[in-house]
Amino acid sequence: MSIRTRVLLALFVPLVLSACATGPTFTAFEPVSPGKAQLYLGREFRQFGAGLTFDITVDGKPVGRLANAGFLAVDLTPGAHYIGAATTVGGGFLTFSEGQRHAAGTQIKVAEGDRAFVRVALEAKNQVTVTQWWWSVKEIKNPDEAAELLKGLRNSSDRH
């Protein structure tokens, strides 16, 4: 391995790891508070975009930041809610190559005692030149699939 490669790895690896969630690892769902519903958001580990965190909102109100390989658990009032995710890079919104703002979100509906699950994912349209970025916020209907996503993720709630 060349010295140049070693130097780049020495600089890159700590940067990626520092952007990951650092809280406790997910082990089980927390009990749902009386009169409430619960939302779990998960973001799988990805090297691409690892340094970005997502500002998560519920009905336009901030509830936390979702780091790479992280999850958030949020208590909700029963009813319909809009879950949004946005990120910033260098003080400006991460944008498409056309320079337009981009945000993603999904609508969920929960009853008292329910749990809802949402996956947040970051991708590049062209990973060689990274000309376009996009992310998705998508509800997961299957609790087993959600538990599989959350397994091994770390709590992001300490990254506010």
The confidence score (pLDDT) of residue 53 equals: 84
What CATH number was assigned to the domain covering residues 3-159? 2.60.40.1120
The confidence score (pLDDT) of residue 60 equals: 92
The confidence score (pLDDT) of residue 99 equals: 35
Output the DSSP codes for the chain. --HHHHHHHHHHHHHHHHTB--SPBP-SPPPPPTT-EEEEEEE---STTTT--EEEEETTEEEEEE-BTEEEEEEE-SEEEEEEEE-EETTEE-B-TT--B--EEEEEEE-TT-EEEEEEEEEESSTTTT--EEEEEEEE--HHHHHHHHTT-EE-GGG-
The confidence score (pLDDT) of residue 122 equals: 74
pTM of the model: 0.74
pLDDT of the chain, 160 residues: tens digit per residue:
666 544 434 434 444 444 566 688 999 999 999 999 999 999 988 877 777 788 899 999 999 999 999 999 999 999 999 998 887 654 444 443 333 345 688 999 999 999 999 999 876 665 555 445 566 788 999 999 999 999 989 998 854 3
The confidence score (pLDDT) of residue 37 equals: 97
